[in-house]
Amino acid sequence: MMPIIMLIISLAFIFLIVITLSKVLGSRVWTAKVNQWIVFGYLALGLISIGILSFSTEAVKKYSIEERKAMYEDETKLWNSLLSGQKNSYYERYLQKEWEIELASDQIRIVPHLATDIKAGVLVEKRDDPNSNVIYAKTYVIPYQYRGNDFTKQASLDYFKFENNNLIVQQVNNQEFTFYEIYPGMQMLDQINDYNIEHDAYYSFFTGRTILFLNVPSHVNIIDESGYVYLVR
């Protein structure tokens, strides 16, 4: 309440000064020339603001509804492609991390840290390599989107940790993001056109899903206690 009162007092004070100056100086103050310079100055200030904001704000990829439809199909294809074992270099763009797991024995346990629903899946492919106990792992992350905004960079989506011959599928802490977005248009037009509803309609069940692809020597025994292993082949 106090800041508003202060603001009103300040504005009243400015208003009083302007009125007094206008009365004293008469029509010499509000000439067309002065008005013109005030408008130009204000527009120049706007331009400077755009310049500063373009450097000081973070750009987030915004997908159109058409792009989201395509991505929705693409994500489904990626999931099916990994499940069916097809190799498709196109999907390598979803690759986030490539890492190796060195096993101390011929056995690996995959355990959940907490038994809750985690948006992750493990796919296992066996290879003939009797002399090695190394598992080649690839972490794929399907971009995390909300209403077409890509927040993959901000979200922590790594659910997998290797410790003492155990691959832990861990629950990531609840993540709450608050963003302040500059929207260079009118929200009400989007509402009239139902763009927001359309954006909500294209909610992908795969968004933010993390897929761990493991290339395991065939002699290594996998004990799945997690329920997150979708396929072993």
Partner 1 sequence: MMSLNSLTTSQVLWKQVKWKCKAFSQSFITLIGILIVIQLLGWNGSGSSGGGSNQFSVYIHFYSLDMTFIITCIWAFIQSLLMQGRIQQQDDYSIVTNRIVCNVSNSIVVTIYCFIATLIAIASFYISVLFYRLFSGIDLIRNELLFNPVEVIVTFLLILLVAASGFFIGSAFHFSKMFGIGVIVLFVVLLNLTPLGIANVIKFLFNGGDLLLMLKALVGSILIFGLSTLMLNRNEVTRR
* Residue 180 · residue 122 · CB < 8 Å: no
Q: How far apart are CA 177 and CA 55, in angstroms?
A: 22
* Residue 123 · residue 230 · CB < 8 Å: yes
218 contributes a contact to partner 1 by CB under 8 A: no
Among 152, 165, 170, 171, binds partner 1 (CB under 8 A): 171
Query: Please, which residue, 86 or 203, has the CB nearer to partner 1?
Result: 203
* Residue 233 · residue 169 · CB < 8 Å: no
Query: Please, which residue, 24 or 192, has the CB nearer to partner 1?
Result: 192
Q: What is the biggest distance separating any 2 CA atoms in the chain, rounded to whole angstroms?
A: 97
* Residue 112 · residue 217 · CB < 8 Å: no
| Shortest Å distance, C-beta 118 to partner 1 | 8
In 3D space, the residue among 229, 103, 217 whose CA is nearest the CA of residue 165 turns out to be 103
Interface of this chain with partner 1, residues 91 to 150, rule: CB under 8 A: 117-119, 144, 146-147, 149
Query: Please, which residue, 163 or 181, has the CB nearer to partner 1?
Result: 181
| Shortest Å distance, C-beta 129 to partner 1 | 36
Phi, psi (deg, nearest 5) at residue 90: -60, -35
* Residue 111 · residue 225 · CB < 8 Å: yes
Interface of this chain with partner 1, residues 58 to 87, rule: CB under 8 A: 58-62
163 contributes a contact to partner 1 by CB under 8 A: no
Chain contacts with partner 1 (rule: CB under 8 A):
4, 7, 11, 30, 32, 35-36, 38-39, 42-43, 45-47, 49-50, 52-54, 56-62, 117-119, 144, 146-147, 149, 151, 155, 171-189, 192-194, 196, 200, 207-208
